[in-house]
Chain A
Amino acid sequence: MTARDEILARLRTALADGPPPVPVPRRYRRVDDRSDLIDTLVDRLEDYRAVVHRGIDALPRLLSAVDRLAVPTDVPAGWLAGYAGRLHRDAPALSPATLDELDAVLTGCAVAVADTGTIILDAGPAQGRRALTLVPDRHICVVRTDQVVGLLPEALARLDPRAPLTWISGPSATSDIELNRVEGVHGPRRLEIVLISSGA
């Protein structure tokens, strides 16, 4: 008997008492009724030491201080307007060693969750593959206001489970030393969010 068949047979024997069907009560909130979603998102992001900038105009100013910038191949041209530093497009794919030498990466996101201050990347438009937003020490992430939802259930409904998903809530952190939160371990130590309006 294979391990698979044996384990499945064990589990079926274990359930010989025939437990009855379990109805799942879903009385939790599935839609946020708050009107100030954007302010909530900013509050939660800043609580976890992400830096928030408002308006597309903040981008050129931010990028002017970045020498070597990684971007996904489909980064909107408008985000790079006036950028004079060295641009590294991820085509052909940048090696981990190369990514490690760059100063920052600029991407968009798929969804942002106000309630938890979470940015979700799904490798969709303007996001690139996962390594791109992991190895550089600074992640600049553009969030459109129409990408902001209130609660987790609203975010999950917008995601494709088959895409590789990365949920980011603040910069890399640890609480392993005396349970004090310290920002900055292996992931990007600086997370900056640029909030732009839907049309921008």
Chain B
Amino acid sequence: MSHPVAPATGGGRIRTPLPFPTAARPAVADQQLRANLHRATRTIRAKRARVVDEVPDWEALRDAGSAIKADVQRRLPELLEQFEASATAAGATVHWARDAAEACRIVVALTRAAGADEVVKVKSMATQEIELNEALEAAGIAAYETDLAELIVQLGEDTPSHILVPAIHYNRAQIREIFQRRMPDAPADLSDEPAALAEAARVHLRRRFLSARVAVSGANFAVADTGTLVVVESEGNGRMCLTLPETLISVVGVEKLLPTFTDLEVFLQLLPRSSTGERMNPYTSMWTGVTPGDGPQTVHVVLVDNGRSAVLADPVGRPALSCIRCSACLNVCPVYERAGGHAYGSVYPGPIGAILSPQLTGVADNASLPYASTLCGACYDVCPVKINIPEILVHLRQQAPHPPAERATMGVLSWVMRSPRRWAAALRLARAGAGPLGAYRERRTGARTLRRLPWPASAWTRSRDLPLPAPQTFREWWEKQ
């Protein structure tokens, strides 16, 4: 009898190097960043609301999307085998990668085998996650990002801060400055009009597209029954990469599967309206293996685990694998709007990142992220596949390591609160202890609160006031009436 193989956590850019509160501090203090984020998220929220409100069956679509994804998770091994068989039959070569490093090795080897020393890239969260650009560079292969926002971030030697709009933290003036500094063919009198900036990017990438031999993409969906891959985009850089090169390598997380081609009728309604706030994004490409005489004649698919099996293993956290990377949850999150994407450390920021990253790495490696939320629930309301993000956040907080002092305090508190008699006695005691202090604070500051406590309770009062017990409880007041 063979031993069961345990699900494994992943690596790559999914770990916070600093605890979230520490990483968020400079961002929260940056007025320009906060203004950029506020304006951008407000714009996209309004656009989304408008195009979602005009769909009478939106909730029915969400229900279907949520159920299809739950079904995919339940049947993931068999659907992956089915996808592999369909894609292979259509002329694609399917590769499997246990983790980020293995996925990078496969892409490097395939690029070398194609005789290329450069690749053009379609924006892809999976390749960001596995840090493919760094691996290609280390292997002497130049990787050119072709999505406008990814290009801005790459030229600015920065990292993305949003799933959909990686350069959301820059305004137009900052983008012009990056182009003028780092884009040799940018016109000297480049204006900061978005149309002029887009034109500069078009000219900059045109020759590269027309001569590229290898492209690397991700995929928004992989269809099991047909072996079809789907890429959703706006600019046409995706079409360029997916059509003109001889070799196409697509890096796809194993959770991206859909059972049938028909299921796209649900997700291609949910995704554009939730992400860019459009009825439909300008371009969607679908390809199934190789089509003779049309597009790349060598087609590879790299299926990546990198921690997804660990997410699947937790029945409560599992629905995080339903995420279609629309980023609607980022745009409504009060914490994301103030802290920005970089504070989350991982390529997956915002509410979805706060549940996905800790599950991909193991909670101990990202213990601060489940706390990067007010649990307001706005993310759950807008999620097109109804991921109950607040519930998973609370679940992960329970798994996060807690300091011994906190555990001891909670243990005592739990013992006290389990008995009404102990609880009433504790309240009496607390009131007797705090009585004069409460009255004093009320006279001084108009509120029965303490601003600062000595260590270790200072950890609590650093970001909150501590309320002192009221002179009488509601029950006591009621009995006197």
Contacts and interface: CB of A to CB of B under 8 A. Distances in A.
A164 B287 contact: yes
Given A22-B67, A162-B90, A171-B282, 19 more contacts: A7-B303, A10-B309, A11-B309, A15-B76, A15-B77, A129-B294, A129-B295, A131-B294, A162-B228, A163-B291, A164-B287, A164-B295, A167-B280, A173-B234, A174-B234, A176-B165, A181-B278, A185-B202, A186-B209
Interface residues on B, range: 35 or more
B186 interface: no
Interface stretch (B94-102, B132-140, B343-351, B433-441): B94-102
A119 to B, nearest CB: 10
A3 B96 contact: yes
B295 A28 contact: no
B210 A97 contact: yes
B223 to A, nearest CB: 7
Nearest to A118: B280
A199 interface: no
B96 A2 contact: yes
Contact of A177 (B76, B147, B148, B266): B148
Contact of A24 (B4, B67, B172, B295): B67
A184 interface: yes
Interface string A136-174: 000000000000000011001100011111111111111
Contact of A169 (B7, B209, B280): B280
A161 B7 contact: no
B277 to A, nearest CB: 8
B39 A178 contact: yes
Contacts of B288: 161-164
B81 interface: yes
A108 interface: no
A116 B279 contact: yes
B264 interface: yes
A1 B152 CA distance: 42
Interface residues of A, number: 77
Given A15-B312, A28-B266, A170-B282, A8 B43 contact: no
A95 to B, nearest CB: 9
Contact of B243 (A6, A118, A130, A177): A130
B195 interface: yes
A182 B7 contact: no
Contact of B64 (A25, A44, A113, A170): A25
B280 to A, nearest CB: 4
Nearest to B279: A116
A159 to B, nearest CB: 8
Given A134-B239, A174-B235, A184 B261 contact: no
Nearest to A13: B4
A139 B408 CA distance: 69
A176 B149 CA distance: 5
Interface string B201-230: 110011001110000000000010010100
